[in-house]
Amino acid sequence: MEVTYKVHRKDPENGGESSYSTYQVDLPEDATVLDGLQKIRDEQDDSLAFRASCCQGYCGECAVRINYKAQFTCTTKIAAVTKKSPEILCDPVRNIPVIKDLVFDMDRFTWDKMAAMKPWMEPDDEFAPTENLVPESEMAEVRKTMSCYQCGLCDEGCAVLPVDFDFLGPGAMVKGYRFVMDPRETGAKMEARMKVVEQPKGLWDCVHCYEANGKCPRGLAPSSKIMEIRDVAFKEGITHEKVARHHASFINSVKQTGWLDERKLAMETEGLTNVTGLMKLLPTAVRALRRGKMPGRHEKRPGADQIKRILEKAEDSK
Ligand code: SF4
Ligand code: FES
């Protein structure tokens, strides 16, 4: 099968400009995209740089954008990506500084961010220093996240990273989840762990676009994991962040009156003692008043008690 590879090139030792090289490759029908890249390097161009290690879809090393979609080259069959055109476009994964051709900076992309999560367990004193049996029901989800390849495909789909590369990203948050949900970190250790995940550029910077969920080859639903950590933060009573105050105000309002008190929501989100933040709301309030859009009196609605019960039931079932 004759295929055309169009591969991104960039060589910092040679000006560092991005360009493309085109190669004709003859491959068997069941070849993978990685097979083709290796053949190019072996037979046509030994300067081509790309990463791969396990060649079986386990290590996550070979992530590349193939025809605009980030995938593993070692598990992607050429037959699957040449259905519409015999050309295979290979680009480096987005949002990451490229070192050479398809090789990107794994330190800045993944390892520095994983390290920021302090990826080691600090069990509460009652669990140390002996072996501890942990109920399977509490470890099942945690164990799943331990199978993360740390490939960064979830970060590749993240909506925040293109505008703020310092955001820790869903991949690092999945690592954080692994420790937040571990039942052996309790009490003060749990508090310390929450401080790690909600550090600046961490937990609260996710914009819940849920894009990362569709990118993970392990089906770990990284965006949902971030939301689950936030649920823990709310349960732990963490209210110093705007997002947490917004959430708490929303829930309290609906529980008390059966519907949303928008005036209170705006003020409580800023923080009732945050004078500067409250002053910033004034122009919006004046505009709303002038246009007759200022919410009126907020009274308890009929059925509010049932709504409160539904909310409490949903909270209990988490
Ligand atoms: S959560 Fe999934 S996509 Fe993200 S790094 Fe882990 S395996 Fe890769
Ligand atoms: S080389 Fe390991 S996942 Fe592709």
Write the CATH number for 185: 1.10.1060.10
> Could you say which of 57, 78, 104 is where a domain stops?
104
Q: Is 297 in the same domain as 276?
A: yes
Q: Is 179 in the same domain as 271?
A: no
Out of 72, 148, 151, give the residue to mutate to test ligand 2, the one with the largest number of ligand atoms within 8 Å of its CB.
72
218 lines ligand 2 (CB under 6 A): no
Residue 243 belongs to some domain of the structure: no
Instruction: Give per-residue pLDDT as tens, 243-283.
Output: 788 888 888 899 999 998 888 888 888 888 888 888 888 88
91 lines ligand 2 (CB under 6 A): no
Nearest-5° Cα angle at 309, 305 to 312: 135
Res 318: pLDDT: 67
What pTM was computed for the model?
0.80
Q: Is 262 in the same domain as 223?
A: no
3-state secondary structure of 153: helix
Residue 292 belongs to some domain of the structure: yes
Q: Is 112 in the same domain as 226?
A: yes
Instruction: Give per-residue pLDDT as tens, 126-161.
Output: 876 778 888 999 999 999 999 999 998 999 889 999
CATH number at residue 89: 3.10.20.30
Ligand 2 atom nearest the C-alpha of 74 is 4
Token duo for residue 118: 């302090």
The DSSP line for 277-316 is HHHHHHHHHHHHHHTT-S-----PPTTHHHHHHHHHHHHH
150 lines ligand 1 (CB under 6 A): yes
Rounded CA separation 26/73 (Å): 17
The overall longest dimension of the chain from CA atoms, in Å, is 76
- Across the chain, what does the average pLDDT equal? 91
**What is the domain range of residue 280?**
254-316
The alpha carbons of the chain give a radius of gyration, in whole angstroms, of 25
Q: Is 122 in the same domain as 64?
A: no
Distance 3 CA to ligand 2 centre (A): 22
Distance 155 CA to ligand 1 centre (A): 8
Q: Is 127 in the same domain as 82?
A: no
> Could you say which of 104, 131, 150 is where a domain stops?
104
Dihedrals phi, psi of 189, to nearest 5 degrees: -70, -35
Total count of domains within the chain = 3
> Could you say which of 82, 104, 126 is where a domain stops?
104
